[in-house]
Amino acid sequence: MAEFSMILANNNRSKAYLQTLCAHGILPARVLLLREGGRRLPEQTAHDKIPQGRPSGKFIRSHPETGIAFDEKESLESTLEQHGIAAEALDTLDMNSSPVADRLRALPGEFVVYSGPGGVLLKPSVLAQGKKLIHVHPGRLPDFKGSTTVYYSYLLERRASASAIFMEADLDAGPVLLSMDFDLGPGEQDIDYLVDPAVRTRVLLECMRDLDRLAAAASPQRGEGRTFFIIHPVLRHLALAQPGGKGSEHG
């Protein structure tokens, strides 16, 4: 399998990625951890306090539809330590900053899995570092570009999808390596902190298992597709108010 590195911000998605890949013996050669002092990203949970020690106890998040489970309480540092993976922390969340560009160039392998802050448009200086950045977008492309697409595909199709792409200058526009769709089961859905990380992790796992072939066959997206913007709380609550779900007025 091709050598690869990872760039991770401390959130459930990164934890799910790293723990799942490690559990399947797919280990990155090196990891860059992005953080910015004590700043908490909107997608971070109470368990993502920075700096992160080794909290006791576990908080297993499990998503049967994708077969993904991860421990929300296990910090990225402790997973890296357990598996002896070399890592470096940078005091920035800005993918376009020069420290990130410099470190990116020096990362081992041609491929770098990205799980930093969302909605980032990469500058040419970052894209020119000779790496292929793999990003898993939570939606089928090009039909569901943009933000919070996991909610939109749920509202429009009652399923969640994810697509692994090579990042390019335009948002969610790069060649697609792999897309998968998952029917969402009835009942409670923690979309932000469980469903979204789980569907993306499943696609990443399948992508990394067959990376050489998928990378060679990655195809440009067909058509311009459709761009969605951050979902409004009313639509978000409507999505969660599925019959039998936690927000249901009927269930």
Region near other proteins per CB under 8 A, out of 98-106, 140-148, 164-172, 177-185: 140-148
Question: Of the two residues 20 and 149, which places its CB atom closer to other proteins in the complex?
Answer: 149
Q: Does 192 bind other proteins (CB under 8 A)?
A: yes
Nearest to 159 by CA among 139, 179, 136, 177: 139
Is residue 46 part of the contact set for other proteins (CB under 8 A)? yes
CB nearer other proteins, residue 103 or residue 226: 226
- Cα→Cα distances 105→8, 52, 64, 169, Å: 16, 27, 38, 17
Residue 117 binds other proteins, judged by CB under 8 A: no
What is the longest distance spanned by two Cα atoms in the chain?
55
Rounded CA separation 7/90 (Å): 10
Binding footprint of other proteins, residue count (CB under 8 A): 45
Q: According to CB under 8 A, which one of 48, 74, 143, 172 is a site residue for other proteins?
A: 143
Least CB distance to other proteins at residue 6 (A): 23
Residues 54, 75 contacting (CB under 8 angstroms):
yes
Q: x/- site string to other proteins, residues 154 to 173, per CB under 8 A?
A: -xx-----------------
For strands 145-146 and 227-228, give the pairing: parallel
Q: Give the HSE-up count for residue 42: Cα atoms under 13 Å, Cβ half-sphere.
A: 6
Q: Is 48 in the site for other proteins (CB under 8 A)?
A: no
Measure the CA–CA gap between 200 and 187, rounded to whole angstroms. Answer: 20
Eight-class DSSP state of 85: -
Which range, of 20-28, 109-117, 213-221, 241-249, touches other proteins by CB under 8 A? Answer: 241-249
Stretch that binds other proteins, among 28-36, 124-132, 187-195, 204-212 (CB under 8 A): 187-195
Q: Pairing relation of β-strands 68-71 and 60-63? A: antiparallel
Residues that bind other proteins (CB under 8 A): 42-43, 45-46, 55-61, 72, 143, 147-148, 152, 155-156, 188, 190, 192-194, 226-238, 240-243, 246-250
